[in-house]
Amino acid sequence: METPDQVNLFRKAATEIFQKNYGFTARELLAGIHSGSRGQLGYIAFDGELPASIGRLYTHPQSVFGGLYGGGTLQSHRGRGLYRAVVAARACDAAKMGARYLIVDALPTSRPILERLGFVRLTDTWPCVLRPE
C-alpha cells in the first residue's frame, strides 16, 4: 500500500470484514506512507476492483520478528485463496526486510489455514485493559 486512496480502500474493507472502526489503523498506515517508513505496511487483495482481503505487516530493523496482523477476507470471498495470498505477500516482504520469524495474532478461524502454511500455534492472546490507580 503506497497511497492515501489505497489506505481508504483498506479501511473500508477492514470495517466491513471485522465490523469495527479502523480509523486508528488507517491513520497509522497514512503516517507511515507520509514518513516513508516501511515498519508498518498494509496489504489488499482485490477481486477485480473490489478490495476483498486485507492484512498488515509490522517489522523493525533491529528485530528478527515480523508481525502479521489484521488479516481477513470478506465473507463473500472466503475459500478462494485470498487470505493465503495476503499471508504469503506479507511473509515474503518480512523476509526481504530481515525478519527470520513471523508472529501472527489471528482469530481461531484462521488457525487451520495458517497451520497448512506451516505456522505452529504457540499460545493464545486476549485483550486486556490496564486501569492504573
Cβ proximity of 84 and 118 under 8 Å? no
For the cut 90, the answer to whether the pLDDT of residue 127 exceeds it is no
Degrees, nearest 5: CA angle 95-99-101 = 105
Neighbour tally for 12: CB within 10 Å: 15
One CATH from 3.40.630.30, 3.40.50.920, 3.20.20.100, 3.40.50.2000 for 4-116: 3.40.630.30
For the cut 90, the answer to whether the pLDDT of residue 109 exceeds it is no
Mean pLDDT, rounded, of the chain: 94
How far from each other are the two terminal CA atoms of the chain, in whole angstroms?
41
For the cut 90, the answer to whether the pLDDT of residue 117 exceeds it is yes
The pLDDT assigned to 108 comes to: 86
- pLDDT tens across 27-73, in order? 999 999 999 998 999 999 999 999 999 999 999 999 999 999 999 99
Least confident residue range of 9-13, 28-32, 123-127: 123-127
